Structure 1
Amino acid sequence: MSTAPTTSQSSHRTSPRGGRPFRRLVLPLGVVALVAAQGVALRLSGVEPEPLVGILMFGLAIVAAAFALAWAGEAAEVDISGGLAVGLLAIIAILPEYAIDLYFAFSAGSDPSQAPYAAANMTGSNRLLLGFGWPFILLVAFLVFRASRARRRPLDPGIERRPFAVRLPEDNRVELGLLLIASLLTLLIPLTGGIHVMLGVVLLALFAYYLWRAARGESKEPELVGVPQAIGALPTVARRVTVIVIFALSAVVILLLAEPFAHSLIAGGRAAGIDDFLLVQWLAPLASEAPEFVIAIVFAARGRAAMAVGILLASKVNQWTALVGTLPIAHALGGGGWMLPLDGRQTEEFVLTAAQTLLGVSMLLGLRFSGRWAVALFVLFAATFVFSSTEARWLVSGVYAVLAVVLLLARRRAVVPTIGAPFRRPVTHGRG
């Protein structure tokens, strides 16, 4: 964490536009607090609402908490490195998924019938993140780019016009390298038919290293506007307390409401005649992924497309290391053995998810996320809904793998630097 602000930082500390703290800070935070409070009040009342009511009220509260997180995450860049701010945002945003997955994994220790649900939620949320989340963020960035060009506003420096693409900073090689390493480690899962506790410990260690590495990353002077600027303009102690309180309260709201939101989604799905397995794999992740999607959309809509993609990339690192790693440990603590078993269907789902992950990493080796690859990710993701047989899952897995290998060969010069990026000494600069 940085020490006293430099002169160049003072521009973010001054009261924006002549000093209107109520309109710039208190009013927006008050609105999101009220929206979140109605969901929390419903949760604490013990009343079980109708599915549609629960989806609406709990969902709005989670979205409000996500907006507050996005504001606090931007303001936190005044005091900590951008990489660590993104990592912390991703961790808090992914808390609902941890809560749901760990519940199923812990229950599977005494009730083996719950084991498929833990793996289903994990694979579903991972594929939803890459197959829908990444392409949607690029679509938002493209729409913002078009609007900015039409209004002749300054364009996001991370945007390439022809062909349209989001250019990622060199720092993102850390996440890409860790994802490549984690993908190699997770090859043991389909080979052994389960997730072993020892593999979980290794993946958790990799995640802990990622946080440590992000904390030592390069510090840059942030460019804040709106609510984050108002927070950044506060005195040092007040600013840090405000950011910490927002992070903490948002995390509490998200954790408290993830379960009833998921239950409302599942109840609504059951009423529509949807299979329980599909509900856990796809509808529950809509609840768990909602905060990080909203946060990323907020950044993309504000012209920070590279940071939006970076948040989803950090979330993927969290999912592929910490989330996968904690499942067998939760299973063991719940009374199970040293391995969380996967049946044949779950092995197929995991191979499909691993192959998609490898393609996602491969397409970003050049630190560019282009429209054609976003379309490819979405089309392959959607294909598994249209063609849902075992043969179709293996076929799509094969397509993911072939495309990934082709890209790895085409960009082979970037593979070794990417794998080594997490272990190179980070460059640190002062602010100002």
Structure 2
Amino acid sequence: MSRLRHPLVQVAVAFSLTAPWVFVYASGTHLGNGVTVLVSGLAVLGASFLLAWGAETAEKDVPRAFAIAVLAVLAVAPEYAVDALYAWNAGAGGASTDACAQFTAAQIENAAEGTTAAACHDANLAVANMTGANRILIGLGWAGIAFYTVWQATKTNDPAVEKRPGRLADAVTIDRSLSTEIAFLFVATVFAFAVPLAGGIGVIDTILLVGLYVAYIGIIIRGDVEEAEEHVGVPAYFQRKRRPIRIAVVLGLFAYSGLMIFTAVEPFAHGLEEIGLQYGVPEFFMIQWIAPLASESPELIVVAVLVNKARSTAGFNALISSKLNQWTLLIGTIAVVYSIAFGAVGTLPFDEKQTAEIWITAAQSFFALSILINFEISTREALALFVLFISQVATEFLLLRVLSIANPEALSIDLLYAYTALYLLLGTAILYRRRGALSEVFTRAGNAARTAVGREPVAVEGAD
């Protein structure tokens, strides 16, 4: 083996990418926005490789789904931090449903720092950042990784990619073992439609959504350790070590990569925001789209690493797990952070625009799940996810910032409702045609739960 290709050399290279950021962070050195983006971005890149290697190595000793779930939580930790910051500011500033109802949208948007109206603005930003991150994960993440998997299959011969006749007909098949993740995400998605009906994100949402994720973890952690896939490179090297060494390596890689991602992504995202603001990009647009895009980068890099190894099932597992923990833990913890800062159990308020944002995010998730419910996603379906996402964001930006029209905010809300209806219409039509697959998903998920508590599984209708 070439010395440059030795696994430890690859690990050293990944660590070296994080070294400049370690120095900057530890020394408190202040850099310009451009240099900060470069240094912190390299740290995120290096940490993403370390995180992927840690998760793959862990599959030797724990169920793969659990290893991927840990990976997903670490990869999206920066998203939690950004949302927690806005939720804290909202609570500390006294934002509440009654208080925010006293202000107009313009007063909230242009509020002076330190006022109650500014706290209401922060509450809206918390929701905007959360919905933006979730829609990016599907519209760019799921769609982009599907494209990348099909393209990579020409070089990796990924068995999960099926070549089919017709334009954009090639498809990525997904292992049926992901039924539990898909079923839990489906339940969370249906519940998300009800979140705005209570006037904000409150304690009931926290109990139900966090409880849902805890139940999911309780099921997958009791799963069997699967027969290990054949690994190569760094994971294969560490998996050959004795168990105590493997465990130490996995914990070390998880801890270090998690710390790097947690500390580097916020400056990375903030640097991008500042650069965007310098060029006249609106703050709300930066918070909803650019900052989440930066904070989602670790998991997208990790998934790309997995796909590059022809491990597309593990890659989609990571994407679905990331979506599940954002759609449950992220929403639930927002209310907890807000209540702590508020000084009492309260409900994080948001305006009509954010209500529409939550509904379109839930509708997009519903549409995406209707595509994945039969355990595959074609290039054509991935293109539909991408086009619907991009067209909505681009059209709204034109309405709000480019075109000179009367009452653009009202039109943007109407646009969100229109896309919500479109997602629901398309998703319902697809789900009706695939209702047999929907039944199979929930039967398999139910079997996973039965096995976790020591009960016998039931027969799965339509199983191979």
What is the rounded CA distance, in whole Å, between the counterparts of 2:222 and 2:254 in structure 1?
A: 21
Among 200, 222, 242, the residue aligned to 1:216: 222
Q: Deviations over 1:236-270 (max 9, x none)?
A: 21111111100011111111112211211111111
1:361 aligns with 2:369: yes
One-letter amino acid of the structure 2 residue matched with residue 249 of structure 1: Y
* 1:19-59: CA deviation from partner (whole Å, max 9, x where unpaired): x8995232111111121121122123323322111111101
Equivalent residue in structure 1 for 2:27, among 26, 39, 45: 45
SS of the residue corresponding to residue 303 of structure 1 reads coil
**Amino acid of the structure 2 residue aligned with 1:70:** A
Note if contact 1:71-1:228 (Cα within 8 Å) is conserved in structure 2. yes
**Once structures 1 and 2 are overlaid, which stretch shifts more, 341-350 or 192-201?**
192-201
Contact 2:190–2:362 (CA<8 Å) still a contact in 1? no
The match for 2:98 is none
What is aligned with 1:70? 52
What aligned pairs does 1:179-190 form with structure 2 within 5 A after superposition? 179-190=185-196
Aligned to 2:334: 327
- Would the aligned equivalents of 1:68 and 1:246 in 2 still touch at CA under 8 Å? yes
Map 1:407-418 → 2, pairs under 5 A = 407-418=430-441
Pair 1:419 & 2:419 matched: no
On the 8 A contact 1:81/1:220 being kept in 2, the answer is no
Of 57, 77, 80, 2:62 maps to 80
CA separation of 1:299 and 1:332: change in aligned 2, threshold 3 A: same
- Tell me, what secondary structure is at the counterpart of 1:369? strand
State how far apart, in whole Å, the 1-side matches of 2:261 and 2:435 are.
41
Question: What is the CA distance between 1:95 and its match in structure 2?
Answer: 0.7
Could you tell me whether the CA contact under 8 Å between 1:169 and 1:306 is conserved in 2? yes
Q: CA deviation at 1:351?
A: 0.8
- Show structure 1 runs of 4+ deviating over 3 A: 20-23, 419-423, 425-428
Give unmatched runs, 5+ long, in structure 1. 1-16, 149-154
Cα distance in structure 1, aligned partners of 2:295 and 2:181: 21
2:316 equivalent among 290, 309, 312: 309
- Which residue, out of 239, 244, 249, partners 1:242? 249
Supply the RMSD in Å over aligned alpha carbons: 1.7
Partner residue of 2:178 out of 156, 159, 172:
172
Q: Please say if residues 213 and 422 of structure 1, whose CA atoms lie closer than 8 Å, have aligned partners that are also in contact.
A: no
Output the amino acid matched with 2:271: S
Matched, 1:253 2:276: no
- Deviation larger for 98-107 or 155-164: 155-164
Equivalent residue for 2:351?
343
Indicate conservation of the 8 Å contact 2:192/2:358, yes or no: no
1:275-311 deviation line (CA, Å, top 9, x unaligned) = 1111111111122101100000111111111221111
Query: Which residue of 213, 226, 231 corresponds with 1:207?
Result: 213
Whether contact under 8 Å (1:181, 1:419) holds in the other structure is no
8 Å CA contact 2:180–2:448 kept in 1: the answer is: no
Q: Percent identity?
A: 34
**Is this contact kept in 2: 1:134–1:374, CA < 8 A?**
yes
Q: Report the Cα distance in structure 2 between the residues aligned to 1:21 and 1:341, rounded to whole angstroms.
A: 57
1:264 paired residue among 247, 263, 271: 271
SS at match of 2:348: strand
- Which residue of 1 is the match for residue 456 of structure 2? none
Gaps of 5+ in 2: 94-118, 397-411, 453-464
Residues 373-412 of structure 1 mapped to structure 2, 5 A cutoff:
373-388=381-396, 389-412=412-435
* Equivalent residue, structure 1, for 2:153: 145
Shift of 1:418: 2.5
Contact 2:374 2:438 in 1 (8 A): no
Contact 1:296 1:312 in 2 (8 A): yes
Q: 1:125 aligns with which of 120, 133, 149?
A: 133
Partners of 1:124 and 1:419 in 2: CA distance: 28
User: Are 2:250 and 1:227 aligned?
Assistant: no
The one-letter amino acid of 2:178's match is N
Supply the distance in 2 between the matched residues of 1:345 and 1:45 (Cα, whole angstroms).
Answer: 42
Counterparts of 1:266-285 in structure 2, within 5 Å, are 266-285=273-292
SS at structure 1 position matched to 2:39: helix
Task: Name the residue aligned to 1:160.
Answer: 162
Contact 1:43 1:260 in 2 (8 A): no
Higher RCO structure, 1 or 2 (CA under 8 Å, sep 6+): 1
Preserved CA contact (<8 Å) 1:40 1:257? no
1:367-399 per-position Cα deviation (integer Å, ceiling 9, x unaligned): 011111100000000011221022222221111
- Secondary structure at the counterpart of residue 230 of structure 2: coil
* Mapped partners of 1:425, 1:229: distance in 2: 28
Shift of 1:420: 4.4
The CA distance in 2 between the partners of 1:332 and 1:409, in whole Å, is: 41
Paired with 2:326 and 2:153, the residues of 1 have a C-alpha distance of 30
**SS of the counterpart of 1:166?**
strand
Q: CA deviation at 1:208?
A: 1.1
Cα–Cα, structure 1 residues 89 and 179, in superposed 2: closer, same or farther, change >3 Å? same
